[in-house]
């Protein structure tokens, strides 16, 4: 789709000029895994950025030049703060000074797997009370198709503000992949869709200041659907390969060998890999936003629901495999066993434990009577049940004292040969030990 490169309304032209000459003030609500990287790339592009967050501790940390996000270094934050291009605040009244406002807040699911848009609505309460005329407001939080048009736009209309003239409203889905060394905020293409053509043009111009490739779509609904397709694609394919792992277990085949062999085909196949379950804020959650929306239209999203069922039961499958392994190989019950879990983060080389399947596996092991300790070089501690769990040192003595080692996250820092050399038995859910040459008899793969 092609969209005119310049806005038609006087307000659009004025805002585009301020964006072009870097006099536009940029506001970002929510300074987590999405908002802080966006703030940094906009600061590096020459804008004065104000980050808004409800957490005073986070605001103080950022203003001191330190980061709490994996992909953003202390040096990057310190540079932006010292240059005057970034400051953090808890004061929503400062939104009145902003020419652009990006909303980057969480969108979790309720216990019944219904969308929880309360964070978006709280952010919008701030915006509506303080937004100035002619500003651009962009929602980046993942949500169901129709959120921008049905929830956000009416709040402006109640203030007698007309989209495309008095303000500009768009949706641009975040595409953050924590721990990805290759693709960052600045080199990951952007999708934008506005409620009017001028809204799209202004949003496109804004993101072009920090991202080379910005792809406009016809509407905010289209942009919202793009993000859900991306993560539903991953969820369904991971669900498929997890089910293939279950099949291979019944057929007494090595699922990792099967995938590697299939991946030699240069067309028509894309390798996905099984694991102990899905984690993070996107893949386990986003498809359910689409499924929920479609239920309101009397449509049952079968692929989404089936993939969700398979992926959500993987922790139980892991524990059942561990139970079988210990019974068959060592004639032991896991009750009373000392089990060392390697990896709490939901994916390798990050510290994020949101929705981590490792937590589910640990809970199930403890409920079965096992004594569980964990090591994670990126997660020194985390809140667990009624207290704080702390990572143990990964030493030869720690490994030898454990009856079983369970690899749940394949961090690069793990020396798998060292782990195998000093362990009695290993259950590897990530094929992290694939290059280990000695002691393979100790290992059982998912």
248 is catalytic: no
Distance, CA of 84 to CA of 163 (rounded, Å): 32
128's tokens? 């509506």
Residue 378 backbone phi and psi in degrees, to 5: -105, -10
State the Cα–Cα distance between residues 47 and 24, nearest whole angstrom. Answer: 7
What the block records as the tokens of 368 is: 């079965």
- Pull the structure tokens for residue 312: 């959500």
Which entry of 104, 199, 248, 282 is annotated as an active-site residue? Answer: 282
Token pair listed for 149? 């048009």
Rounded to the nearest 5°, which phi and psi values hold at 402?
A: -95, 140
Q: Which residues pair with 139 in a beta bridge?
A: 103, 171
Distances 180 to 187, 188, 316, 348 between C-alpha atoms, Å? 12, 11, 28, 10
Contact 140, 34 (CB under 8 A): yes
CB 381 within 8 Å of CB 388: yes
Question: Biggest alpha carbon distance in the chain?
Answer: 78
Burial state string for 330-347 with b = 16 or more CB within 10 A and e = fewer than 16? eebebeebebbbbbbbbb
In order, the DSSP letters of 118-185 are HHHHHHHHHHHHHPPTT-EEEE-S---TTHIIIIIHHHHHTTTPPBTTTBEEEE------TT-SS--G
Q: Quick one: which of 37, 32, 111 has its CA closest to 80?
A: 37
Annotated catalytic sites, by residue? 282
């Amino acid at each position: 789709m092609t969209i005119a490169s310049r806005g038609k309304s006087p307000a659009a032209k004025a805002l585009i000029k301020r964006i072009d000459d870097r006099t536009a003030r940029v506001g970002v609500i929510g300074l987590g895994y999405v908002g802080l990287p966006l703030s940094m790339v906009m600061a590096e592009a020459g804008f004065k950025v104000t980050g808004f967050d409800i957490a005073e501790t986070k605001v103080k940390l950022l203003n001191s030049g330190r980061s709490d996000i994996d992909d953003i270094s202390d040096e990057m934050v310190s540079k932006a703060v010292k240059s005057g291009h970034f400051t953090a605040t808890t004061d929503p009244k400062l939104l009145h000074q902003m020419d652009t406002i990006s909303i980057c807040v969480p969108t979790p699911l309720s216990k019944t797997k219904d969308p929880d848009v309360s964070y978006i609505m709280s952010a919008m309460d701030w915006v509506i009370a303080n937004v100035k005329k002619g500003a651009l407001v962009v929602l980046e939080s993942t949500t169901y198709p129709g959120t921008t048009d049905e929830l956000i736009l009416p709040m402006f209309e109640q203030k007698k503000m007309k989209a495309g003239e008095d303000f500009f409203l768009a949706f641009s889905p975040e595409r953050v992949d924590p721990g990805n060394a290759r693709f960052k905020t600045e080199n990951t293409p952007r999708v934008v869709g506005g409620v009017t053509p001028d809204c799209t043009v202004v949003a496109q111009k804004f993101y072009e200041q920090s991202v080379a490739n910005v792809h406009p779509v016809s509407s905010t609904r289209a942009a919202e659907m793009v993000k859900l397709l991306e993560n539903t694609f991953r969820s369904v394919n991971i669900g498929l390969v997890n089910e293939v792992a279950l099949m291979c277990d019944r057929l007494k085949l090595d699922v990792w060998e099967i995938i590697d062999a299939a991946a030699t085909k240069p067309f028509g196949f894309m390798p996905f890999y099984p694991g102990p379950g899905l984690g993070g804020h996107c893949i386990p959650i986003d498809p359910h936003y689409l499924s929920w929306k479609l239920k309101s239209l009397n449509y049952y999203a079968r692929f989404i629901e089936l993939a969700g069922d398979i992926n959500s039961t993987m922790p139980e499958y892991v524990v059942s495999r561990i139970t079988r392994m210990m019974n068959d190989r060592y004639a032991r019950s896991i009750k009373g066993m000392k089990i060392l879990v390697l990896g709490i983060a939901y994916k390798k080389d990050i510290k994020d434990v949101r929705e981590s399947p490792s937590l589910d596996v640990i809970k199930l092991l403890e409920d079965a009577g096992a004594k569980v300790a964990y090591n994670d070089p990126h997660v020194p501690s985390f809140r667990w049940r009624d207290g704080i769990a702390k990572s143990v040192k990964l030493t030869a003595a720690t490994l030898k004292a454990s009856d079983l080692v369970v690899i749940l996250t394949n961090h690069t820092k793990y020396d798998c040969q060292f782990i195998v050399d000093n362990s009695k038995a290993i259950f590897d859910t990530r094929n992290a030990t694939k290059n280990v040459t000695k002691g393979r008899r100790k290992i059982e793969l998912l």
